[in-house]
Amino acid sequence: MRTVTALAVAESRGLNGGRMLAGMVVGYEVAHRVGRCWHDSREVYQACGSWGSVASAATAANLMDLGPDQAWEALGIAEYHAPNAPMMRDIDEPAMVKHATGWGAMTGVTSALLASRGFTGIPSILGFEGYADGVEGIGEEYLMVGGVAWKQKGYACCSWAHAAARGARELMDEHGISLEGIDTILVEGFHETVQLGTELPTTTEEAQFSVAWPVAAMLVDGEIGPAQTLEERLDDPELQTVARKVTLVESEALNELVRLYEQGDPRGRFASRVAIHLEDGSVYRSGLVDEGSRFPNPVWDRPRMDEKFRWVVGSVLDEGSVERVLKTAWDVANLGDVRELVEVCGEGEGRL
C-alpha cells in the first residue's frame, strides 16, 4: 500500500527514484507504529487498509513536501476517513474486498491533498500520551529493518495456512506418501487458521482464504500460486478430492503461542501441527510447524527476489517484459524520473 502510494504520487510529480524510496521508508515506519496503536485501541481485528491509510498519508505528505503541521493534519484526516475493514468477516466469507488496500491508499493520498489545501483532521492516535513509547525513536530507530516479512515463493495464500501446507508437504516427501493412500489430513491450528475453513472454493478469494485448498495445492502441485488459485483451476477433480480430506481442530496451546508472538515474546509463533492418516491405518505426524514469517525475516538476496518476481508475474507478462521491469526496478534509486519505471511496466505483452 505504501509502495502504491509512493509510486502514484512520485509519478504525478515527476520525482526521482531515490525520492520515491525515501517516501516509502516514511510510510513503513509510520505503518509499524500506527498499526500497533490502532490494534491496541480496537477490539475488532482490522485489515491493513484501515490503519495503513494513515501510513499512506504519511508517504504522500512526505512526497508532496508538506510541512509538519500539514503532515500532522493529513494523518488525522486519514485516520478519521480510514476504511472500516473487519478482516475476520472477510475470512468467514471471502470477498473481493480483501485487505482494503486500494481504499487505504486512496484515503491516504486524498488526505494529504486535503491537508495541503488547509483541511484539518482529528488529533492523530500517534500523539496520544499512552502510545508515546511506541512512537519515540521514529527517524532514528528503523523498525522496518527487522520488521518486514516476505511471503515465501510458492505460498500465494493467507499466511495463516502456510504452516499447514508446508507441514503436509514435508510429511508427504519424508515418508513417500502417495496421494491415493491418504484417508484424512488433520490440521491442528490456532483460532484464525481454523476460521479459514475447509469449504471447497468457488472464487479465487475463497481459494486464498482457506486451509484445505492451499494444503491440497501444495500436495498435488508442490506450490500455491496463480495456477492453483485462479478460477479456471477450482474445478480440478484431483485438488477437490485432496481438499475434501482436510479437517481442522483448534488448539489452545497454539493460541497461546500466537498471544506470545503478539506480545513480542521470542517463544511466540504462528504455527500448526499436521497428521496424515493413511487408508492402511498408518499415521504420520509433523510436530510443530512454523508459519515462516519470522522477525527479523531471513535475508532475501537479489537472486531470491528475482525468482519470486518471475514466479508471480510470469502469468501476465512475457519474458522480455519481466526482465525489463526487473532491471529497471533494481535501478530505481538512480532513475531521474520514476515514470521510466511506470512506462516499462506498461510495455510488451501483458500489463502489470
Task: Determine the pLDDT at residue 146.
Answer: 76
Q: Residues in the chain, how many?
A: 352
Which DSSP helix (H) or strand (E) runs through 62? helix 48-63
Cβ contact 289:274 at 8 Å:
yes
* 224-244 pLDDT per residue, tens: 999 999 999 999 999 999 999
Which DSSP helix (H) or strand (E) runs through 226? helix 226-229
Task: Determine the pLDDT at residue 2.
Answer: 86
Q: Best-predicted range by mean pLDDT among 11-20, 137-146, 284-293?
A: 11-20
* 23-60 pLDDT per residue, tens: 999 999 999 999 989 988 888 889 999 999 999 999 99
pLDDT tops 80 at residue 108: yes
CATH numbers and ranges of domains, the chain: 2-149 (1.10.4100.10), 159-290 (3.30.1330.120), 305-352 (no CATH)
Q: Which residues contact 16 (CB under 8 A, 6 or more apart)?
A: 335, 336, 337, 338
Cis peptide bond N-terminal to 83, omega within 30 = no
- Identity of residue 119: F
Cβ contact 84:90 at 8 Å:
no
**Mean pLDDT in residue range 267-274:** 93
Cβ contact 156:312 at 8 Å:
yes
pLDDT tops 70 at residue 128: yes
Task: Determine the pLDDT at residue 136.
Answer: 87
